Amino acid sequence: MSTATLQVRLDTQLKKDVERFFLAAGLDTTTAVRMFLKQVLIRQAIPFDIIANDPFYAPVNQKVLKASICQLEAGKGKPHNLAGA
């Protein structure tokens, strides 16, 4: 199997922090990156959620949304028209 080189520029502190994490997990950075790339191919997608710093995804908002869904599923909701609909 032939190999290729992948170069990535990143912040020095990020590199130190991630190397420390990988070491604690028993990995080196090369192996971790290879695992990530293989998972991309296996799943045909990024193997984790990519979430912007959006308040919609904040844990407190997700909790409220889940409670609202439970209320609707229990028949305790009331229908209303959407604005602009």
Task: Spell out the alpha helix ranges (H) of the chain.
Answer: 12-24, 29-43, 59-73
Say how far apart CA 6 and CA 37 lie, in whole Å.
Answer: 12
**For residue 85, pLDDT beyond 70:** no
Q: What are the tens digits of pLDDT across the range 20-79?
A: 999 999 999 999 999 999 999 999 999 988 777 778 778 888 888 898 889 888 988 777
**For residue 15, pLDDT beyond 80:** yes
